[in-house]
Amino acid sequence: MPAGLEEPVDRWITKTNGVKKCWRAYYKALNKMGFYQKHIEPRLVSLACSSPAIARERRKVVPHAEGVVLEVGFGSGHNLPFYDAGKVTKLFALEPEEKIKKLAAKRVAASPLEIDYLDLPGEQIPLEDRSIDTVLVTFTMCTIPDLPTALEGMARVLKPSGRMLFAEHGLSPDGSVAEWQNRLNGIWGCLGGGCNLNRDIPALVTGNGFQMEQLEAQYAKNTPKFAGYIFSGRAKAI
């Protein structure tokens, strides 16, 4: 090696080794993330959805579902025990995530309802216009990537006499809580299957094909405020 070059070459080698180490660490983290997303995240999300505070919110809306029902983001079937089986003639369970559907198997088997799975995302509801009596969405509007398109689809499939029932967490009206929701949103989404803390649910519902008929909003008990501001109610398609 020509004199004087040893030092810069050594420095270059050290630097590229550092870069290689960084890439290796990055790929390792991605692999771990893959394991997390495949095996841990669905169970964590399902666990979070089974808390008593969340059950209280389900009890407010799910028993009102009637006729032919479309549940968007069926998840692991936590709403099933809350349906009034005497009022529901059929349930379309829309759930795009296979790994989450598996967690619903026991609840589906135990349910008296006639359940048809739809394996597509909420942005692509494969049902006829005006064919559904009740659209039920619980704790899913936070996760659907293109929520405006999904809401327009839900409005499209509802009969004129039909209603959308919802219970969703979202943006708090309290400035300090909202600030934390905005701060935590990115990391929360990475760990919680793409869940957003800071969606303005009533504004999104009324801005995308619905008129609000009933709306309640409050913090759920025993739940951190940033994840526990819950909107529940009923809306009709316009």
User: Residues interacting with ligand SAM, by CB under 6 A?
Assistant: 45, 49, 72-73, 75, 78-79, 94-97, 100, 121-123, 138-140, 143-145
CB of 194 to ligand SAM, least distance (A): 7
CB of 75 to ligand SAM, least distance (A): 2
Assigned token pair, 6: 């040893």
Q: What is the 3-state secondary structure (H, E, C) of the chain?
A: CCCCCHHHHHHHHHHHHHHHHHHHHHHHHHHHHHHHHHHHHHHHHHHHCCCHHHHHHHHHHHHHCCEEEEEECCCCCCCHHHCCCCCEEEEEEECCCHHHHHHHHHHHHHCCCCEEEECCCHHHCCCCCCCEEEEEEECCCCCCCCHHHHHHHHHHHEEEEEEEEEEEECCCCCHHHHHHHHHHHHHHHHHCCCCCCCCCHHHHHHCCCEEEEEEEEEECCCCCHHHCEEEEEEEEEC
CB of 157 to ligand SAM, least distance (A): 14
Neighbours of 201 (CB within 10 A): 24
CB of 4 to ligand SAM, least distance (A): 59
Cβ closest to ligand SAM, residue 97 vs residue 133: 97
Cβ closest to ligand SAM, residue 73 vs residue 202: 73
Nearest residue relative to ligand SAM (C-beta):
75
Cβ closest to ligand SAM, residue 49 vs residue 204: 49
CB of 50 to ligand SAM, least distance (A): 8
Cβ closest to ligand SAM, residue 121 vs residue 202: 121
Cβ closest to ligand SAM, residue 6 vs residue 146: 146
CB of 2 to ligand SAM, least distance (A): 60
Cβ closest to ligand SAM, residue 16 vs residue 50: 50
